[in-house]
Chain A
């Protein structure tokens, strides 16, 4: 069943609250949108409504962490990461054990337009030493990452979530390998084969990439799709192995290609002398705008249809 990753996050947080009394949650007047409201209703004494004051919320969360709490602080991705200096000093440099939750990622939010879209948040967070950066592709993966962030991760981490529903992609029986790229298509277990193209996607664009790969198959093009739930640490090892299986790699993200997933892959490929060509699909140094999410995905070349068209054209030209 399709579900927004913010919804899965909210449900998971409320559940983890039962077994982890150290969890406290802060929100800046968006708890109904970030879905931290589920936790707030269940554990009112451990929920801090901070009002429309994100910078203060970040500092307060760090202070709470220094007394042994595990704070989750929630807002839209653009609003949280926009208070960069506070994250940089009070959280990252201080190695505060906090979880920054940024919902409403990308142009996928649609109607509300640019000012509400997290489009540079990965870039900003990835540049901070000690900061982990995670983005689930569906509800199940959100739960798995939440589990990991509560039980294992130490230090600050940023979790990027969608407003819109995403299709279920994570196989129920697949064990979670934190910070590793995961093969989504073809299903692992199928005989390893050379691919005409390897797509690496993250978050909402994984589903688009899978759909694109299905369409390409009908044209006789073999496309593998891999999911990056961790932008930092980034799985360079698997990326370099994949680079040996194809002549074309394509990254797909609902985020600026400057500093996002495309950069993660480009930075990795650049460390070896021979590597495949890389096409970075995503927001190309542009601002967002209001519109239907599907139209915006098409416009920015990250819809299944646009991805398919672009890859078919590239392979034809080779």
Chain B
């Protein structure tokens, strides 16, 4: 069954604008720090670099990203392929009402739905179980294939270190073959991975040229600039409605640990959590950031 895209846009929550989104993302950063500090483990660096991009998706771009549409087959899907950044997603899901704020305290505890990496059996709204890197884009692509001809779109967030996996490039080939303009991949390019900077561990550049050569429409942005983020998402959406046959790849240049001075661009914070004192300092910084916009 083919349903016109335009006629179904009504259930996209009224999109938030830059200033509102910025405030919300800072709130999520505080939630992330609190969750990780309480859990005493997790990955702050990549959660903080990705949060602006995911916030804009859920509060400005995606259709049906509400608990009331959870079983709507035409809802847009979001897959977090870089599964270790899942605290960022949990913070948003709690704000949206998919999970309760109290449940955030159970992160990584025995029996919790909030596993250390996304688990679609325990918590279906995460859409795909990820955490072994390089797999989410294939799953997102399968969804996009299954949803072709419906208004639903599929978004997939990748890490830059993650795309060193070979399966990513298999997916890059086939998404192009199947003309999946309803698929939009977002690269959280924070140039950090466990063993060092991405450009030293295994260089990826020229990144845009590579994805263009694989047949994707590539957009490059600053992943913390709200106007650029919203414009990129709008461009992806417009392309699809205008009949583009290309999947979209957004290269978002980001800062690992963004928003917390002592975490920014410091690879040590990939998988380390703050002490209570450090957390207090981080939250104080983020709170100031909120007040000053």
Q: Residues of A at under 8 Å CB distance from B? A: 48, 50-51, 53, 55-69, 71, 85-86, 88-90, 93-95
Contacts and interface: CB of A to CB of B under 8 A. Distances in A.
B142 A94 contact: no
A303 B138 CA distance: 42
B132 A85 contact: yes
B101 interface: no
B283 interface: no
A64 B177 CA distance: 16
A97 B46 CA distance: 31
Given A51-B174, A53-B170, A63 B129 contact: no
B120 interface: yes
Nearest to B172: A56
Given A64-B145, A67-B147, A56 B73 contact: no
B171 interface: yes
Nearest to A49: B177
Interface magnitude class on chain B? 20 to 34
Contacts of A90: 128-129, 135, 138-139
Nearest to B79: A63
A297 B252 CA distance: 57
Interface string B129-163: 11110011111111111110000000000000000
A68 B137 CA distance: 18
B146 A59 contact: no
Given A55-B167, A59-B139, A68-B73, A94 B128 contact: yes
A147 B174 CA distance: 30
A7 to B, nearest CB: 28
A66 B147 CA distance: 10
B268 interface: no
**Per DSSP, are chain B's interface residues mostly helix, strand or loop, or mixed?**
helix
Interface of B: 73, 119-121, 127-132, 135-147, 166-167, 170-171, 173-174, 177-178
B173 A66 contact: no
B127 A59 contact: no
Contact of A89 (B132, B145, B147): B132
A55 B170 contact: yes
B128 A63 contact: yes
Given A59-B138, A95-B121, A48 B129 contact: no
B121 A93 contact: yes
A60 B147 CA distance: 12
Given A53-B170, A63-B143, 4 more contacts: A59-B167, A64-B145, A86-B132, A94-B139
Contacts of B174: 50-51, 53, 56, 60
B171 A56 contact: yes
17 contacts: A55-B166, A55-B167, A55-B170, A56-B174, A58-B138, A59-B141, A62-B138, A63-B139, A63-B140, A66-B127, A66-B142, A67-B142, A85-B132, A89-B131, A90-B139, A93-B129, A95-B121
Contacts of B171: 56, 59-60
Contacts of A60: 138-139, 141-142, 145, 171, 174
